[in-house]
Amino acid sequence: MRTLTVDLPGRAYDIQIQRGLLDLAGERCRTVLPKAARIFLVTDSNVEPLYLERTAASLRSAGFRVSTCTVPAGESAKCPEELAILWENMMSAGLTRTDAVAALGGGVVGDLAGFAAATILRGVDFIQIPTTLLAQVDSSVGGKVAVDLRAGKNLAGAFWQPKLVLMDPDVLDTLPDSTFADGMAEVIKYGCIFDRAFFDFLAARPSRKELMADIEHILYTCCDWKRSVVVEDERDTGRRMLLNFGHTLGHAYELAGHYETWTHGQAVAAGMVLAAKLGTKLGLTPPELAGQIERAVTALGLPGTIECSHEEYVAAIGLDKKGAGDDISLIVLEEMGKAVPHRMSKAALLEAL
């Protein structure tokens, strides 16, 4: 087993990475929840037939009473309506303030269940059991929980750190290739922004099979970087913003495709390539980096470029006539493995695009 500690004052928690960990979820949860009688386990309709019963059985074997709730798979479940359903079901199940909520699933389940945990009874303990690569390397660590509003993604939420994050690399075996590749966009991002040697390590393993052979090292490295950023800047006002590399442009692609044409990982992949090209145009990024990132992402079936009109960039970057002159922090690479924020006007960014 590999363990990392997210050392936040008074709210430190472990990330455990271990094959077969799903079957040990009960004993591991018991160590951090000595008084909890019940765990309210949230999953989605994709994960339920694969892993719900195994996880629930493990929790029961550690003496927890388990209530389960399955939300529809997909981003549309991350909404206030599903949140309200969870709240009501938690109360019907008899959840008390000494009980806990656990999320078994990808980023949508983690964000939704986490926000429910942060708000029900003014906050109860929360456990993350991420089952997608994207959730394992990014969303399950760091405490950002939210639901989407009609006005945009993640607009109602909280910082609510879990008590424990349990990562079983074996559960990644059931992911479709495209979902695995989605998570790899975020994995490659860590190499780009923090760790040149890790980028080279990934680039030398351009297939899922090769990556899965080293998956524990990959998960550990990503979570170690995420942990260090979260400890330094939990509230996302400084260094944590470096994690947005590729995301400003990626959000434009997601928005232009109405969150249906492009997945988050696909949009981030193309967004990182364009951010490198923009960095070069601004005289900040060595010219060979865009090609290096493009080769790494396209080898996994992710797009290196996505078409987007000027109007779509304007809509996403938020420059309308009223907002003209506002600044934006674009994350750019000074070298492979070293990201910096580059403050520029939105107008200048759109001009560069």
Name the residue nearer to ligand GLY (CB basis): 52 or 229. 229
* Residue 293 CB, nearest approach to ligand GLY (Å): 18
Name the residue nearer to ligand GLY (CB basis): 240 or 342. 240
Nearest to 166 by CA among 335, 14, 328: 14
189 near ligand GLY, rule: CB under 6 A: no
| Contact pattern for ligand GLY over residues 142 through 181, marking x by CB under 6 A | x-x-------------------------------------
Name the residue nearer to ligand GLY (CB basis): 93 or 340. 340
Name the residue nearer to ligand GLY (CB basis): 38 or 144. 144
- How many residues touch ligand GLY (CB under 6 A)? 6
Distances (CA, A) of 299 to 185, 253, 266, 270, 348: 11, 20, 13, 13, 32
Name the residue nearer to ligand GLY (CB basis): 218 or 243. 243
* Residue 144 CB, nearest approach to ligand GLY (Å): 5
Tell me the C-alpha distance between 5 and 2, whole Å.
10
Q: Cβ(112)–Cβ(44) under 8 Å? A: no
Please report the DSSP string for 309-334 in residue order.
-HHHHHHHHT--TTTTT-EEEEEEEE
Site for ligand GLY in 212-251 (CB under 6 A): 236, 240, 243
Distances (CA, A) of 301 to 31, 237, 304: 41, 33, 9
Is the torsion defined by CA of 321, 329, 333, 7 positive or negative?
negative
Binding region for ligand GLY (CB under 6 A)? 138, 142, 144, 236, 240, 243
